[in-house]
Amino acid sequence: MASMATTLTSLSSNPKPAFFDNKSSFHGSPISSRVLPIKVSPQSPTISMSSASPYNLQSFKFEPIKESIVAREMTRRYMMDMITYADTDVVIVGAGSAGLSCAYELSKNPSIRVAIIEQSVSPGGGAWLGGQLFSAMVVRKPAHRFLDELGIEYDEQENYVVIKHAALFTSTIMSKLLARPNVKLFNAVAAEDLIVKEGKVAGVVTNWALVSMNHDTQSCMDPNVMEAKVVVSSCGHDGPFGATGVKRLKSIGMIDSVPGMKALDMNTAEDAIVRLTREIVPGMIVTGMEVAEIDGAPRMVISEKTFQFHHSFPIHQTEELLTTLIVLLPCG
C-alpha cells in the first residue's frame, strides 16, 4: 500500500479551490451538524391543503425553447465531463451500494475528482430492494451511524435497524453524492477492460453499455479510455456482469485465482468484506461483494444489499481516508 498511500497523500495535500467553503460537509463535519432535523408540519394536512393547486392549469404554459438548445446543452455538458474526467484521480467501477458509499466518502475532500462508471441506466445495483425482492432493508449495528449521517429514518431494534424501503438509502446517498461538484456518474457506460502500465492498473477502457452488450452482433467498435491514479472495482458478485474486475485480473495473470464465494454465512461474510477490502494489485482496490469472490468469503442474504457499504461506512477522518483510500474505522 506504500505507493497507494503516497499517491493519495499527495492528492490530499493539494490546495483546495477557493470556491469551496471550509464549513462544508465535504470536510468531514460531525454527524450532528450534517443530519437534517425531521421537519414536522405545524398542522395535519387537510383535504383543501393537499389538493390546492398554485397554478391555473387551463392557462399554464412552459417557457418556449428550441429543441436544438436542449441538444446543445446535453451534448456540451457531457462532452466537457468526458474531457474533465479523461484523466482523473479515482475511477469507481460499479455504482451499487459499495461503489456509491466509497464515492461518498472520497468526495468529502473537494480536491479529489471521482468518476463512477455504471453499466446500467439505473445506478444503485441491487440496493433498491432488500432480500428476495422485498422492500425493507435490514442494517446491522453499528452501520446505522451511516444512516444517521445521511438523515435516513429507520425502525431501531436491539442489534439492527430496518429502513422501511431500501430505495430510501439508495436515492438519498445518490442525491447527496451527485450534488457534489467533484463527482461525475457515467451511467449506461461499461468498463470493458483495464489499463495496465508497468504492472500497475492505471485506468479503465470504456464504451457505451449497449455497444459492449452487442459486440457479438456488430463489427468491432473501438472503445474510449479513462486514466486514473486509483481504480476501485465494486462490480458485485459473480454473474454475467459481476466480479468483472477480479476476473479480468486473473485472465491477464495479475492474480492467480478467483475461488468464488462460499456458502451463506451472513455474520461471517459481512465482517470479512470489511476486513478484506484492500489494494489487491498496484493501483486497484476491490470492495463490496467482489471481495467475497476473490477471497472465498461466504455469501450474504436478507440484508445482503445493505452491507456492501461497510467498507467505507461512517468515516470522518478524511485525511486518513485519503492516505489509505479505504479506512475501516467506527465513528465515535
As annotated, the binding site for substrate includes: 98, 118-119, 126, 191, 222, 237, 289, 299-301
- 325, 109 contact by CB (below 8 A): no
* Cβ-proximal residues to 67 (8 Å cutoff; 6+ apart), any chain: none
Length of the chain: 332
Rounded to 10 deg, the angle between the 166-178 and 97-106 helix axes is: 40
The whole-angstrom separation of Cα 26 and Cα 19 is 12
- 177, 183 contact by CB (below 8 A): yes
**Residues annotated as binding site?**
98, 118-119, 126, 191, 222, 237, 289, 299-301
The whole-angstrom separation of Cα 83 and Cα 86 is 5
- 275, 291 contact by CB (below 8 A): no
The whole-angstrom separation of Cα 327 and Cα 107 is 14
Sign of the dihedral defined by the CA atoms of residues 79, 83, 84, 87, in that order = positive
Report helix, strand or coil for 11.
helix
**Residue-wise over 241-253: b if at least 16 C-beta within 10 A, else e?**
ebbbbbbbbeeee
Cell triple for residue 330? 467506527
Which strands sit side by side in the sheet containing 155-156, from one edge to the other? 137-140, 160-163, 155-156
Cα–Cα nearest to 127, from 92, 183, 93, 171: 171
Report helix, strand or coil for 192.
strand
* Cβ-proximal residues to 123 (8 Å cutoff; 6+ apart), any chain: 95, 96, 100, 116, 174, 185, 187
